[in-house]
């Protein structure tokens, strides 16, 4: 948006009016032509990739300001509901070598296994209570699940701006078949690139968790937030995930995403 | 009320000592009742509280008794529609190596889901450790301890704690100290948390869990979840609320609880006789007073209620004192029961608080008051019947009338016959118990007559020993049978109980020694824990090969024993290599053919049970047994019944292959090792220890050491007998002091005259002493006679109703002989003060008395 405003600044007054008129026309058309569900579908479609790899830095800032860091390498084959991912911790020393295999399904919660090298064994992680925190972060297990558009009802709640970007504000409520810790979520999707800008999760009428996306960049044609920050508003803590060495469509093999694979150092 | 104030109160004040002694009878009875029950309740309560506190928000627990089950069961349970969260648990009790700290209960849990059921808030340490299971799981030496345990041992985060594991002693790193909460106070605060998968490795569980704790989805009932899970996992599992474990524990302690109840009942019964004695004496002494009251217009009813009121007040005061004293002794008894349970049942327990349940205390007071009033009922009735004219006359009112003697004898004869009939035709247990009760009543009815007869028989001997003092003492007993008989009866009851318990202990010892000699014949026993009943740490089967390869070892047998639930009762399964055991052990079956029994059992075609299980569950050879197991229901015929003392609830012996197949568990509790002829047992033992040094925690006991260990446990079990003996001695002292005090008061004139005509103080003292010793002798004689009968009944109860054990009748001669000096010594001690009181009395007053 800022880049676009910059370009707008370099054109003349008439040109600006034309551009504004065109923008308004496009906006009106969009609002009319697309309903909330279609926006979410489009946003999901635009992040489709055959695979993804990055190195992540996870920083947990507790209410007292203490910071704890963890680093991992992340590899994913497929995307959204049809994907498998391996997350391997690289730091600090006490968690180095611990690996997590996540198998996402379009119609149900993911399956997860963990490999603990010190006792040389893997274990299945049962995500029965998905409201619990994900390994001490401010994310819950549910927050990390890939959301399926069919599991929610959407309402377009209006327009808003996040970090200067125009966004659609969409309210999503879980359908009866979907069990969730949240009563509803409000999601902001940028109008220019359909990138997610913010999530707010509610329990009854109270916002309990807020997820902000920042440093959104186009990486290999996919608008990707390089930083995500989840704030637990009840605990007063926040967790920041920073992605580094991000790449899409890396050639991975299916056998790299198995229990045998995560047992390998 | 005014009668009580005007008549009773002054009497109490005049006879402070006797009032105290009377009250002491109730104090004693109630104290034993409260002490034993409070201790027993405290142990049960401590166990349930530990279970509850560890359970947290757990609504149901899935267990396969104590055998554990494969991890796959967890997957099944987690898929159940009614389950919100299900988490695996491993529990191990390990030695801390910290002086005076004993065992630590290690709870192996899965942090990823467990916080839904339990809180692990930290007082110190990195919160991330518990918030982030990743850190906790990545470091298998991670352990979190309770603040109580850390405080007691000055431990803090980062320090190391060495614990006994299946791989020997291992250092663990304390990564957190839990804040004080319900959970941290479980097991007396000796609680630690570690990762369930690390616990599997450390405690030799392979890929199995001990238990699954679960919470039910909102809107689904616990009953609904129980039904769904039972259908899902099969009948080999128990799916119960956490409180169910408390019930199983209670069932395991049935035998002990029964012993406690019998002891308490006897203690109260004995207390009742002390009260009865005191009130009978009081009625006799206050005949003139009663006569005057009656002459002044007091009704029989008023007189009866006067005495009943006095007994109620005495009972109330005695009960309150008994409750206080009982709570005091409960600490010691609870500690003893705790040790006993750990050693006999392998369930470590810490009882730091004594249960003072208002219900128990109220019952104790009610029982004390009721006992006192029941004991005083007959004396009160006699008081009400006092004829005013006769009451004001002097006479030998204590002599039993011929009519009364005859009535007692006839009643005793009739009741005795009924008792015998009950015993011989005891088709039902209640009839048997009626017979038992009647036998005691017969003894009580006959005790005055028998005491009188015995006293007459003693007279010539006493006269021969001390012509004057002996004759006087004997005459005193003969002339006042009422005064003597209640003390003798109390002593008789007390000794009858001691004889029965001691006889049972003796018979048990002999049977256990026979069983040990027949079955425990290996030279060495290799165990993973110094406590042979601890089964939470086990060996892998591969160790058998390693042992067999050690020079000097001829044969190795693997034993796996585990408590399972059979017909809703926890019983012991002992899985052995039946073919090998048949070659080394020759057991003669109680029922079944020995060759056929071993052949079919070794071929996994049949099961053998202990005779106590057969008795308790009414099993016969040929019956088909159904033993639920994690891999299905084991259905096999019963091929033999043998004598076995492995467990009080009974034992099922089976071939090891069956256990491995049905319980999916190939671990080993004990290796039985036979040494090659010519090899030295001590050398082989040393080689075993050297072979496994640094690899495994191994304890090697010789045959003699194991047998001594079992006998030590048996000793602890019969420790209750020592409480009985203490009560018996106390009863002897109380009863005799009471009787002699009254005797001296009654005979003040006689004693005064004796002194006036030149009787020496020494002679009077000796008279009192001889009288006391005579009461002791009468009590011993009658107590041993009743004890012989009581022992028979107790053995029948043990056989049919408690442990199913068939014990041979054996009169405990050694105990009986040892009790003679104890009781006579107590009698003498009891006579010292009354004797001194008799010689110090004023001669003038004594002669004025008339």
CA-to-CA separations, B474 to B468, B486, B767, B846, in angstroms, rounded: 10, 17, 9, 21
For position A187, what pLDDT does the model report? 95
Mean pLDDT for the stretch of residues B466-479 = 86
User: Could you please report the per-residue DSSP string of A199-240?
Assistant: EEEEETTEEEEEEEEEEEEEETTEEEEEEEEEEETTTTEEEE
Highest mean pLDDT among B67-71, B181-185, B266-270, B333-337: B67-71
Q: Which residue of A has its CA nearest to B135?
A: A95
Name residues whose C-beta falls within 8 Å of residue A174's C-beta, 6 or more positions apart in sequence: A151, A152, A180, A182, A184
For position B651, what pLDDT does the model report? 93
Helix (H, G, I), strand (E, B) or coil at B648: coil
Residue B140 contacts A, CB cutoff 8 Å? yes
Domain spans in chain B, listed from the N-terminal domain onward: 1-56+244-397, 57-241, 538-696
For position A8, what pLDDT does the model report? 34
CATH number of the domain to which A85 belongs: 2.50.20.10
For position B834, what pLDDT does the model report? 77
pLDDT tens digits, one per residue of B41-60: 787 777 777 777 777 788 89
Share of chain B above pLDDT 70, in %: 88
The answer, yes or no, to whether residue B116 has pLDDT greater than 80, is no
The answer as to whether A214 is a domain residue is no
For position B352, what pLDDT does the model report? 62
Residues in chain A: 265
pLDDT tens digits, one per residue of B124-174: 655 555 656 677 788 888 899 888 888 888 888 888 988 888 777 888 988
The answer as to whether A130 is a domain residue is yes
B580 or A134, higher pLDDT: B580
Share of chain B above pLDDT 90, in %: 22
Pairing mode of beta strands B524-527, B122-125: unpaired
Name residues whose C-beta falls within 8 Å of residue B681's C-beta, 6 or more positions apart in sequence: B523, B524, B675, B702, B703
Q: Count interface pairs A-B at CB distance under 8 A.
A: 69
Q: Nearest CB to B138: which of A94, A125, A132?
A: A94
pLDDT tens digits, one per residue of B17-31: 777 877 887 888 888
The answer, yes or no, to whether residue A55 has pLDDT greater than 90, is yes
Look at A136 and B113 and tell me if their CB atoms are within 8 Å: no
The answer as to whether A194 is a domain residue is no
Report the C-alpha gap between B158 and B436 in whole angstroms: 64
Residue B131 contacts A, CB cutoff 8 Å? yes
CA-to-CA separations, B257 to A87, B102, B251, B717, in angstroms, rounded: 57, 25, 9, 12
Look at A126 and B133 and tell me if their CB atoms are within 8 Å: no
pLDDT level of residue B345 (50, 70, 90 thresholds): low
| Residue A259: count of CB within 10 angstroms of its CB | 12
Mean pLDDT for the stretch of residues B802-811 = 81
pLDDT level of residue A9 (50, 70, 90 thresholds): very low
The answer, yes or no, to whether residue B437 has pLDDT greater than 70, is yes
Sign of CA dihedral A241, A247, A253, A254: positive
Show residues of chain A in contact with B75, CB under 8 Å.
Answer: 124
For position B731, what pLDDT does the model report? 67
For position B723, what pLDDT does the model report? 67
Report the C-alpha gap between B562 and B236 in whole angstroms: 14
The answer as to whether A185 is a domain residue is no
Mean pLDDT for the stretch of residues B388-413 = 69
pLDDT level of residue B114 (50, 70, 90 thresholds): confident
Look at A135 and B132 and tell me if their CB atoms are within 8 Å: yes
* CA atoms within 13 Å, Cβ hemisphere of A147: 22
Mean pLDDT over each residue of chain A, to the nearest integer: 82
Q: How many domains does chain A have?
A: 1
**How far A32 CA sits from the closest chain B CA (Å)?**
42
Show residues of chain B in contact with A132, CB under 8 Å.
Answer: 112-113, 115-116
Mean pLDDT for the stretch of residues A234-244 = 91
Look at A128 and B110 and tell me if their CB atoms are within 8 Å: no
- ipTM over the 0.90 cut-off: no
Q: Which residue of B has its CA nearest to A67?
A: B128
pLDDT tens digits, one per residue of B257-278: 777 777 777 777 777 777 777 7
Report the C-alpha gap between B655 and A196 in whole angstroms: 65
Whether the Cβ atoms of residue B700 and residue B526 lie closer than 8 Å to each other = yes
The answer as to whether A243 is a domain residue is no
CA-to-CA separations, B508 to B254, B563, B714, B795, in angstroms, rounded: 17, 22, 8, 10
For position B683, what pLDDT does the model report? 94
pLDDT tens digits, one per residue of A113-122: 889 898 888 8
For position A198, what pLDDT does the model report? 96
Q: Which residue of A has its CA nearest to B126?
A: A68
Q: Nearest CB to B134: which of A95, A117, A126?
A: A95
Residue B175 contacts A, CB cutoff 8 Å? no
The answer, yes or no, to whether residue B72 has pLDDT greater than 50, is yes
For position A3, what pLDDT does the model report? 38
Q: Which of A228-232, A243-247, B458-462 has the lowest mean pLDDT?
A: B458-462
Show residues of chain B in contact with A123, CB under 8 Å.
Answer: 110, 197
The answer, yes or no, to whether residue B701 has pLDDT greater than 80, is yes
B566 or B831, higher pLDDT: B566
Mean pLDDT for the stretch of residues B705-715 = 85
Q: Which residue of B has its CA nearest to A122?
A: B197
pLDDT level of residue B746 (50, 70, 90 thresholds): low
**How far B575 CA sits from the closest chain A CA (Å)?**
30
Q: Which residue of B has its CA nearest to A130?
A: B113
CA-to-CA separations, B740 to B333, B491, B787, in angstroms, rounded: 33, 15, 25
Q: Which of A94-98, A105-109, B662-666, B727-731 has the lowest mean pLDDT?
A: B727-731
Write out the residue range of the structural domain in which residue A95 sits: 51-57+65-145+248-263
pLDDT tens digits, one per residue of B617-675: 899 999 999 999 988 899 999 999 998 888 878 899 999 999 999 988 888 999 999 99
Q: Which residue of A has its CA nearest to B83?
A: A128
Residue B172 contacts A, CB cutoff 8 Å? no
Residue B72 contacts A, CB cutoff 8 Å? no
| Torsion, CA A80, CA A81, CA A82, CA A84, rounded to 10 | 70
pLDDT level of residue B347 (50, 70, 90 thresholds): low
Residue B179: is the preceding peptide bond cis (ω within 30°)? Answer: no
**B84-B90-B95 Cα angle (round to 5):** 150
φ and ψ at B512, to 5 degrees? -65, -40
Q: Which of B111, B137, B170 to mutate to test the interface with A (most CBs of A within 10 A)?
A: B137
User: How many DSSP H helices and E strands does chain B contain?
Assistant: 32, 21
Q: What is the largest CA-CA distance in chain B?
A: 99
Q: Nearest CB to B131: which of A94, A124, A136?
A: A136
Look at A128 and B116 and tell me if their CB atoms are within 8 Å: yes
For position A59, what pLDDT does the model report? 92
Q: Which of B85, B112, B127, B203 to mutate to test the interface with A (most CBs of A within 10 A)?
A: B112
In three state form, how does the secondary structure of B717-767 look? HCCHHHHHHHHHHHHHHHHHHHHHHHHHHHCHHHHHHHHHCCCCHHHHHHH
pLDDT tens digits, one per residue of B297-319: 888 888 888 888 888 888 899 89
Report the C-alpha gap between B755 and B758 in whole angstroms: 5
């Amino acid at each position: 948006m800022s880049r676009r405003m910059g370009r707008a600044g370099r054109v003349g007054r008439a040109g600006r009016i034309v551009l504004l008129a065109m923008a308004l026309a496009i906006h009106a058309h969009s609002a009319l032509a697309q309903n909330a569900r279609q926006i979410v579908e489009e946003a999901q479609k635009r992040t489709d990739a055959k695979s993804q790899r990055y190195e992540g830095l996870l920083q947990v800032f507790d209410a007292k300001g203490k910071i704890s860091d963890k680093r991992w390498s992340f590899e994913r084959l497929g995307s959204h509901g049809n994907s498998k991912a391996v997350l391997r911790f690289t730091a600090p020393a006490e968690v180095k070598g611990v690996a997590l295999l996540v198998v996402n399904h379009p119609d149900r919660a993911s399956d997860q296994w963990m490999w603990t090298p010190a006792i040389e064994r893997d274990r299945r992680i049962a995500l029965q209570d998905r409201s619990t925190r994900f390994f001490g972060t401010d994310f819950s297990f549910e927050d990390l699940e890939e959301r399926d558009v069919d599991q929610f009802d959407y309402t377009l709640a209006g327009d808003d701006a996040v970090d200067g970007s125009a966004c659609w504000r969409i309210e999503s409520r879980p359908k009866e078949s979907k069990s969730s810790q949240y009563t509803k979520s409000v999601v902001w999707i940028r109008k220019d690139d359909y990138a997610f800008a913010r999530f707010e999760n509610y329990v009854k009428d109270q916002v309990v968790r807020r997820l902000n996306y920042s440093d959104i960049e186009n990486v290999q044609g996919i608008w990707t937030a390089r930083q995500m920050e989840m704030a637990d508003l009840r605990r007063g803590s926040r967790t920041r995930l920073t992605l580094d060495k991000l790449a899409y469509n890396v050639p991975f093999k299916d056998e790299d995403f198995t229990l045998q694979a995560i047992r390998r150092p | 009320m005014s009668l009580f104030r005007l008549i009773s109160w002054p009497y109490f004040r005049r006879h402070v000592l006797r009032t105290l002694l009377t009250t002491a009878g109730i104090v004693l009875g109630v104290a034993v009742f409260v002490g034993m029950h409070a201790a027993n309740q405290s142990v049960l309560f401590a166990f349930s509280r530990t279970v509850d506190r560890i359970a947290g928000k757990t609504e149901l627990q899935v267990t396969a008794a104590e055998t554990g089950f494969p991890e796959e069961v967890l997957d099944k349970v987690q898929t159940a529609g009614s389950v919100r969260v299900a988490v695996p648990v491993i529990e191990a009790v390990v030695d801390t190596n910290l002086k005076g700290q004993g065992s630590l209960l290690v709870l192996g849990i899965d942090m990823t889901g467990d916080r839904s059921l339990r809180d692990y808030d930290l007082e110190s340490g990195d919160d991330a450790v518990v918030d982030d299971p990743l850190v906790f799981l990545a470091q298998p030496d991670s352990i979190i301890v309770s603040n109580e345990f850390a405080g007691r041992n000055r431990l803090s985060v980062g320090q190391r704690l060495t614990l006994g594991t299946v791989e020997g002693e291992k250092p663990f790193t304390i990564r957190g100290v839990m804040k004080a909460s319900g959970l941290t106070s479980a097991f007396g605060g000796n609680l630690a948390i570690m990762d369930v998968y690390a616990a599997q490795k450390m405690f030799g569980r392979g890929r199995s869990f001990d238990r699954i704790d679960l919470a039910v989805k909102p809107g689904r009932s616990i009953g609904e979840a129980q039904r769904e899970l039972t259908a899902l996992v099969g009948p080999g599992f128990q799916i119960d609320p956490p409180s169910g474990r408390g019930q199983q524990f209670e069932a395991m302690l049935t035998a002990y609880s029964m012993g406690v109840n019998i002891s308490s009942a006897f203690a109260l019964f004995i207390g009742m006789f002390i009260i009865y004695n005191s009130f009978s004496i009081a009625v006799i002494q206050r005949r003139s007073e009663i006569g005057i009251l009656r002459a002044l217009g007091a009704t029989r009813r008023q007189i009866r209620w006067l005495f009943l009121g006095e007994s109620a007040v005495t009972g109330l005061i005695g009960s309150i004192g008994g409750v206080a004293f009982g709570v005091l002794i409960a600490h010691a008894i609870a500690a003893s029961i705790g040790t006993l349970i750990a050693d006999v049942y392998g369930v470590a327990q810490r009882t730091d608080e004594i249960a003072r349940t208002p219900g128990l205390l109220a019952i104790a007071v009610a029982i004390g008051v009721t006992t006192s009033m029941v004991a005083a009922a007959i004396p009160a009735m006699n008081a009400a019947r006092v004829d005013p004219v006769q009451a004001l006359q002097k006479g030998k009112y204590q002599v039993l009338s011929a009519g009364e003697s005859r009535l007692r004898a006839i009643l005793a004869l009739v009741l005795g016959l009924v008792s015998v009939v009950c015993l011989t035709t005891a088709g039902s247990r209640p009839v048997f118990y009626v017979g038992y009760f009647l036998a005691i009543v017969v003894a009580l009815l006959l005790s005055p007559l028998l005491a009188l007869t015995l006293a007459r028989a003693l007279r010539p001997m006493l006269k021969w020993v001390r012509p004057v003092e002996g004759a006087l003492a004997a005459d005193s007993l003969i002339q006042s049978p009422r005064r003597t008989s209640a003390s003798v009866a109390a002593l008789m009851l007390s000794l009858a109980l001691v004889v029965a318990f001691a006889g049972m202990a003796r018979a048990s010892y002999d049977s256990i020694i026979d069983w040990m000699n027949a079955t425990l014949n290996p030279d060495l026993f290799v165990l993973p824990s110094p406590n042979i009943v601890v089964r939470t740490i086990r060996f892998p089967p591969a160790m058998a090969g390693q042992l067999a390869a050690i020079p000097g070892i001829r044969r190795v047998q693997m034993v796996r024993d585990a408590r399972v639930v059979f017909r809703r009762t926890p019983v012991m399964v002992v899985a052995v290599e039946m073919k090998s055991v048949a070659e080394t052990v020759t057991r003669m079956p109680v029922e079944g053919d020995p060759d056929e029994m071993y052949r079919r059992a070794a071929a996994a075609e049949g099961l053998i049970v202990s005779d106590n299980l057969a008795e308790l569950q009414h099993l016969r050879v040929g019956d088909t047994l159904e033993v639920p197991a994690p891999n299905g229901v084991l259905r096999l015929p019963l091929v033999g019944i043998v004598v076995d003392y492995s467990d009080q609830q009974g034992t099922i012996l089976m071939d090891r292959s069956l256990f491995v197949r049905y319980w999916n568990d190939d671990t080993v509790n004990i290796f039985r090792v036979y040494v090659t002829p010519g090899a030295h047992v001590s050398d082989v033992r040393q080689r075993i220890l050297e072979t496994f040094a640094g690899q495994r925690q191994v304890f090697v006991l010789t045959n003699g050491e194991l047998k001594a260990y079992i006998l030590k446990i048996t000793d602890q079990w019969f420790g209750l007998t020592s409480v009985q003996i203490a009560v018996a001695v106390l009863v002897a002292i109380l009863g005799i002091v009471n009787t002699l005090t009254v005797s001296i008061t009654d005979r003040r004139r006689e004693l005064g005259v004796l002194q006036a005509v030149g009787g020496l103080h020494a002679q009077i003292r000796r008279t009192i002493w001889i009288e006391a010793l005579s009461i002791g002798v009468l009590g011993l004689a009658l107590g041993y006679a009743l004890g012989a009968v009581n022992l028979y009944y107790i053995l029948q109860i043990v056989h049919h109703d408690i442990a199913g054990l068939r014990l041979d009748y054996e009169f405990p001669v050694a105990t009986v002989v040892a009790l003679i000096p104890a009781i006579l010594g107590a009698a003498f001690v009891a006579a010292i003060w009354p004797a001194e009181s008799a010689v110090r009395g004023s001669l003038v007053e004594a002669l004025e008395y008339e």
